[in-house]
Structure 1
């Protein structure tokens, strides 16, 4: 599969000496919805700024849509829609007039269809009813939507979104996920950075995990989650008794989650789940549920780093 984005040894060290991105080797398959996942401060935005030619890398190379960046920026950027670090808006202009200004600044845009395209972009992000209001009166979520509309004024081969659901309520987040899926179905490659595991897991086909400027892993979402072991989950009113039995049987990481749930690591080789259930029943534990929960991206992240993650 061709790569929409590819980097080799991409590195950014600022004058202060801070290393923001270190030797990044990234491959974003064309046609994918690629989640660039990591805590705030892990180097995601710095990477995007290098890919878009906004800052020069200290070392390494990057190609976007098959062309070297930033050298080929004039060729590449008209094919890319981007929302990076929140939209830059004219507060004294309406949402509609902001988009008209954005479109007029694009030398590839057809003036004859400008008004219709602006209206379509506003409608697509749910801002048509507020199109005439001044941008300074918009909420944070509405500003995010307007920035996304600006990225959608023309068909793009690649859409780069930096934390696109910042400031959105749950309904707005669902709408953006739906929009991303629609764009991908139309053939657009979507590169989406986020610190929200749930967002990535719901909408992305591929993912890369960053921490402290370094790439930890990348690949299809399903494969990454599959590398992490799931959790043994026991549902019972006898949580204390169940936890004791599981620990005696050598189950690691046993935790009482609440007054009805006990979890632990799946048993290793040589121990069958049926052995665990039989031992629990023999000890008088009343079982209401028992099984291995599928591993999630959160499980994969914790397995990779040994750390928790911001999933709020």
Structure 2
């Protein structure tokens, strides 16, 4: 069996507004461990979680994280920012240097086995027996799960294969699977039993656009059934489409967490005008309260305050005799917010 990653479940033998974190999420995880508005505890809560490896490398630094039950939670950060190390600590695969973590209110180190019966996970990438078929691989994983009912094994394996789109390839040996098919098989392992929490590290790695769409649809459907999904990914467009909440890591530290909408709201939209009268347009935009007015040829744009109504600005341009060929609003993306918060591109090693 290859050893590049773990698929973790019960079978594992080892098992507020978005501002800088200091002022967001009501005091971090100490508030998050308490009951949520609906009376439930967070699906994941960490307090001062830290990991320092031999040689002094501080991979995760005092992480306070709160993941609401029922959320599709995006965990973002450049390479080396501490995401996978955090996930390994959440699942009890490595021991924190300091701090602690809870899953559904239970400490991972004290009650790991009982807690992990509620959790399915795919970490980093799939690891399978290459000379067994996809179906046989799932049977081996399921047989190792002390909580799994052998009488329902075949039915559950068929269901997991269909969920990830591998029904027609179930009898093919894993060594002949493409990277995307191996990724699907790893996800199927995590779905063999119903889970309250699904932790996925780069689940769309190696998938083509259609496969990514299918996995996105699967995540959405699981969330609709009440499963909390914790999703680590480099693909900001995917996160933006599927996640309700996000946290951003940079160089081992949490820099922000909150809803996707709140994170984007921290960045201003820009009004853009295409006109043969750029100087006049720039003047009117400034008069209307636009800031950071930029002129590039026939294009003029500016930052817009939250109370700056685009239709009012457009009417002011026309009333001032500016010939408006095009007018629009460029909304900030999750990538814009990420770069603004971290000052890094997504391929930077932290």
TM-score calculated relative to the size of structure 2: 0.79
Question: What secondary structure is seen at the aligned counterpart in 2 of 1:106?
Answer: coil
Question: What secondary structure is seen at the aligned counterpart in 2 of 1:182?
Answer: helix
Q: Does 1:252 align with 2:307?
A: no
Question: What secondary structure is seen at the aligned counterpart in 2 of 1:180?
Answer: helix
Residue equivalent to 1:264: 302
1:192-250 CA-partner distances (Å, limit 9, x unpaired): 1112211111111111111111101111221221122112222x264xx5378538947
Residue equivalent to 2:197: 158
1:38-94 CA-partner distances (Å, limit 9, x unpaired): 122211100000000011111101011221123321111121100001111011111
Question: What secondary structure is seen at the aligned counterpart in 1 of 2:121?
Answer: strand
**CA distance change for structure 1 residues 285 and 172 in 2, over 3 Å: closer, same or farther?**
same
Question: What secondary structure is seen at the aligned counterpart in 2 of 1:41?
Answer: coil
CA RMSD of aligned residues (A): 2.6
Question: What secondary structure is seen at the aligned counterpart in 1 of 2:117?
Answer: helix
**292-301 vs 119-128, which moves further:** 292-301
Question: What secondary structure is seen at the aligned counterpart in 2 of 1:108?
Answer: coil
Residue equivalent to 2:343: 306
Q: Does 1:65 align with 2:104?
A: yes
**CA distance change for structure 1 residues 243 and 120 in 2, over 3 Å: closer, same or farther?**
farther
Q: Does the CA contact (< 8 Å) of 2:271 and 2:327 recur in 1?
A: no
Q: Does the CA contact (< 8 Å) of 1:245 and 1:280 recur in 2?
A: no
Q: Does 1:106 align with 2:145?
A: yes
- Within the candidate set 312, 324, 328, 1:286 is matched to 324
TM-score calculated relative to the size of structure 1: 0.89
Residue equivalent to 1:28: 67
State the distance in 2 between where 1:61 and 1:145 align: 31
Equivalent pairs, count: 304
State the distance in 1 between where 2:309 and 2:152 align: 67
Residue equivalent to 1:3: 42
Question: What secondary structure is seen at the aligned counterpart in 2 of 1:82?
Answer: strand
Q: Does 1:147 align with 2:186?
A: yes
Structure 2: stretches of 5+ with no match in the other structure? 1-35
Structure 1: stretches of 5+ with no match in the other structure? none
Q: Does 1:213 align with 2:249?
A: no
Q: Does the CA contact (< 8 Å) of 1:43 and 1:212 recur in 2?
A: yes
Q: Does the CA contact (< 8 Å) of 1:45 and 1:162 recur in 2?
A: yes
Residue equivalent to 1:297: 334
